[in-house]
Amino acid sequence: MAAKVVIGVDHGGLHIKNVIIEHLEQRGFEVKDVGVFSEESADYPDKAVDAVKEFRRGGYDFGVVCCGTGIGISISANKMKGITCAMPQNSFAAQMAREHNNVNFIAFGGRIDYTEPIEKILDSFIDAEFAGGRHLRRVKKMNNLEI
């Protein structure tokens, strides 16, 4: 069975969505796209909710969310219990988000000029594995902050 990813974007992340989906599919992922599908204005909190609800149905390896900057949709995702969403600025940060923080969502900004291709940043996230050890203690503390 193919690994699965859910992706949700607002209108600000629409143009990078297809780049991300194409790259994920090339890597063998099955992608569930919960929208948006047009440039009509959409609220990023709503798209974060759609992605998280789908993720919670189970069977997904991780989620991807995008808005204009990645900030609003990542904050929205992080407000939901059980979701840890990173918004890495480069491939090193993406790798560390997975290795040290064990995040289950990654966010990108459609209006951000990244210094590396988004595909490279995404690959660093995908190819990394949670390191456990001392990081497990920290992740547990972080998750216990959900009050």
pLDDT tens, position by position, 80-116: 999 999 999 999 999 999 999 999 999 999 999 999 9
Which position among 11, 23, 66, 67 bears the catalytic label? 67
Q: Which domain holds residue 128?
A: 4-143
Of the pLDDT bands very low, low, confident and very high (cuts 50, 70, 90), residue 147 is low
pLDDT at 2: 78
Kindly report the backbone phi and psi dihedral angles of residue 126, in degrees, each rounded to the nearest multiple of 5, phi listed first: -65, -45
The CATH code of the domain that includes 36 is: 3.40.1400.10
Number of domains in the chain: 1
Active site residue 66: no
Question: Smallest Cα–Cα separation from 66: which of 94, 44, 43, 96?
Answer: 44
Q: Is 100 a catalytic residue?
A: yes
Give the residue, 144 or 104, on which the prediction is more confident: 104
* Closest by Cα among 67, 62, 68, 114 to 88: 114
| Number of neighbouring beta carbons within 10 Å of residue 67 | 29
